[in-house]
Homo-oligomer: A and B are copies of this chain.
Amino acid sequence: MFVAFIIGLLALAFSLYLACSTLKNDPGPREIADISRAIQVGATTFMRREYRVMGLVALPFALFLALVLSPYVVFAFIVGLVCSTLSSFIGMSIATRTNGRVAFAARNGLSKAMNVAFSGGAVMGMAVVGLSAMGISGVYLLFDLLPFTPEPLAVITGYSMAASFVAIFVRIGGGIFTKAADIGADLVGKVEVGIPEDDPRNAAVIADQVGDNVGDVAGLGSDLNQSYTDTIVSSLLIGAAAQSIGGLYLGEKSVIFPLLLVAAGIVASALGILMVRMLSQKGVIRPEAVLKVGMLTSGVLSSLGILLLSHFYLGHLGAFYATTSGLVVGLLIGLNTEYYTYKKPIRFIAESSEAGAATTIIAGLAVGLESTVLSMILLGLGMIIAHHFAGLYGIALSGLGMLSILGINLAMDAYGPIADNAGGIAQMSRQGPEIRHITDRLDAVGNTTAAIGKAFAASATAAASLSLLTAYSEAAHIVRLDIREPRVMAGLLIGGVLPALFSSMVIKSVGRTAQLIVIEVRRQFREIAGLLEGKTQPDYSRCVDIATRGALGQLALPCLLAISVPFITIFTLGREALAGLLAGCIVCGIFLALFMANAGGAWDNAKKLIEGGELGGRGSLAHKASIIGDTVGDPLKDTAGPSLDILVQLIATVSLVFTPLFLRMLK
């Protein structure tokens, strides 16, 4: 346990080092620094207000937890709240300070810019894994040392609950913010007024850039922080219960092993990150190749570490096979996503665009549907393999395996929006075409790493929530969970439709908020004299404010849904129905999340393909159709899809955390 704590601390220190090294880069001339600064202020304002709302809800919730469960759980909850909030805030903070530096570094070539962007993203990667490892092992150690408190495992679920709690606000709020601003900016700017994307005359353009940071950096970070935390916590619980539920059981070692595994993964991630920095400092040219080498290095090192741990610490290689199966499944799902969002299928969508927008959409839907197939089958087979080697404990371990190199995965994911932002800043500050060319190149790679990141987040959600489902049914003393039982089957059907309800709510929220932004941007063009001619500046902060209020105001309903469903289900249909509901929600939720992420990514890159000059290039009919495809995909891939990860895990976590209460009340 101590090892995990120390490694977590070291990861945090490494994150700090990366942050300093990133910030040492030149922020660039005033025209760049000013825009970067505006984005920074906007993002910080949004996050601060988001945290305030979160705090206001967390307070009564903590009291409720204290009343119905125990004050110790509340302590874990608060520690979790602090760690999860910090990691998303650090990531966002550094990202907003990196974007301008990347735009400036692009003057010194692709490798240099790439190095800065990746290092900025790596800050969040290491902060998330470091804080999570420290927080969980810290809480565990504390309750283990204090003799008069309950079992550490009984309170640790509070930490999980906190990670989910933060993720709702940061992921869903950020997701609504980013797409409302993006769509709002495009609808008036590109469609009505006819000015290019990222044009400084558009009042919503800063809000759009802010959105990339609060949605795709902080949001994705909190999403994967939740998966990471949930997987670790459920591994600990299942490790402790392995004796009763079957599977590999090796005493206390089963409980310690997951944290050692996490520590090994953190070290491997850090080495992979160093490798990427080294390669890009040396000027190796292709960014895709550099990132892949880094990822593979981490994967191989992590496997090696797990092998050594399994052999020497656990003395049983089953755990190694189970963990590695998860790691391999995660990598394969990444490759599958890369194929569907970067290779042949996007050409199919682009070619379909020649017959108009309708065929663009139909082609994208077909590609999105197909793209989920291999991933879900891999998840299923991975489970069977993991179970074969180490029982239900093995399934939890395979989830950990998938997430073990989260540090470098997250670094790659956060690199995407930073590169995107850098491109926007280069455009807004009217840099020359050679700079734009480099940032575009970085951005295209970033699009794919972002799509991979989303597919990875969905798969990690599957792994985490399957473990949570096991942990819940164990805690709820469910003996028989037969699909033929009508309550279980009804749970499956009802759970299967929750993701649909949730995503429809979120999509509508984006639409409503975007509408408000459209009205504001139109008003500014009408009322501010000389704006369209570029003589005066628009009032950027108003749009940031509208997006903030829209995002935070529309959070309530979907959150209430996610939190109340387990309560309603268990008290009307019973414990088994809730387990069935979880299973249905996992299956349909992961399917929809993968579908939305991949279809959205494919539409985006099909547009990029045409903009690259193929099939008529910019301005052609195919291009117009592909823009419609991209716009449809935006709220799917950046808001609704990722928010399903939160829904699924939140329902699972609430079910697990409140089981003691349920059992008391059902008696």
24 A-B pairs within 8 Å (CB atoms) are namely A357-B357, A358-B628, A361-B628, A361-B632, A362-B632, A365-B632, A366-B503, A366-B508, A370-B501, A372-B500, A379-B493, A380-B489, A380-B490, A380-B493, A383-B489, A384-B573, A462-B493, A470-B484, A481-B484, A489-B583, A493-B590, A496-B591, A584-B587, A588-B588
Contact B501 A373 (CB under 8 A): yes
Interface string of A448-486 (1 = CB under 8 A from B): 000000000000001000100110010000001111101
Closest Cβ neighbor of A581 among chain B residues: B380
A356 at the interface (CB under 8 A from B): yes
| Binary per-residue interface labels of chain A (272-303) against chain B in the complex, 1 for a CB within 8 Å, 0 otherwise | 00000000000000000000000000000000
10 extra interchain contacts, Cβ-Cβ under 8 A, other than A357-B357, A369-B500?
A: A187-B355, A358-B632, A380-B489, A381-B490, A383-B490, A384-B487, A462-B493, A483-B488, A496-B588, A587-B588
Flag if B392 contacts A484 (CB, 8 Å).
Answer: yes
With a CB–CB cut-off of 8 A, which chain B residues contact A377? 493-494, 497
Residue A536 is within 8 A (CB to CB) of chain B in the complex: no
| CA A72 to CA B395, docked complex, whole Å | 46
Q: Evaluate contact between A486 and B355: CB separation under 8 angstroms.
A: no
Closest residue on chain B to residue A395 by CB atoms: B486
Contacts of A579 in B (CB 8 A): 483
Q: Which label, helix, strand, loop or mixed, suits the secondary structure of the A interface? A: helix
Chain A 387-413, CB-CB to B under 8 Å as 1, else 0, gives 100001001000000000000000000
Cα(A481)–Cα(B492), bound, Å: 14
**Judging by beta carbons under 8 Å apart, are B511 and A352 in contact?**
yes
A628 touches B357 (CB 8 A): yes
In Å, the complex CA distance between A15 and B195 comes to 64
The reply on A308 being an interface residue by CB < 8 A is: no
Complex: chain B residue closest to A479, CB-CB: B482
Q: CA of A21 to CA of B595 in the docked complex: distance in angstroms?
A: 50
Q: How far is the CB of A383 from chain B (nearest CB, A)?
A: 5
Kindly state the interface size class of chain A when it binds its partner. 35 or more
Known A357-B357, A366-B508; judge A376-B483 contact (CB<8 A). Answer: no
Are A504 and B466 in contact, with the CB atoms below 8 A? no
A631 interface residue, CB < 8 Å from B? yes
Q: Which interface residue of A365, A395, A497 has the most chain B CB atoms within 10 A?
A: A497
**A635 contacts chain B at the CB level, 8 A cutoff:** yes
Flag whether A367 is at the interface (Cβ < 8 A). yes
Report B-chain residues with C-beta under 8 Å of the C-beta of A383. Answer: 486, 489-490, 493
Chain B residues whose C-beta falls within 8 Å of the C-beta of A359 in the assembled complex:
187, 511
Interface centre among A355, A473, A481, A518 (most CB of B within 10 A): A355
Q: In the bound complex, how far is the Cα of B627 from the Cα of A580, in angstroms?
A: 40
Q: 7 shortest A-B CB distances, which residue pairs?
A: A380-B490, A358-B631, A387-B486, A376-B497, A369-B504, A380-B493, A370-B504
* A416 sits at the interface (CB 8 A): no
Question: Nearest chain B CB to A468's CB is how many angstroms away?
Answer: 12
Taking each of A484, A584, A588, A590, which has the highest tally of chain B beta carbons within 10 Å of its own beta carbon? A484
In the complex with contacts A377-B493, A587-B493, A511-B384 CB distance below 8 A? no
Determine if A507 is an interface residue (Cβ-Cβ < 8 Å): yes
Residues of B within 8 A of A584 (CB): 587
A445 within 8 A of B: no
Tell whether A191 is near chain B: CB-to-CB under 8 Å: yes
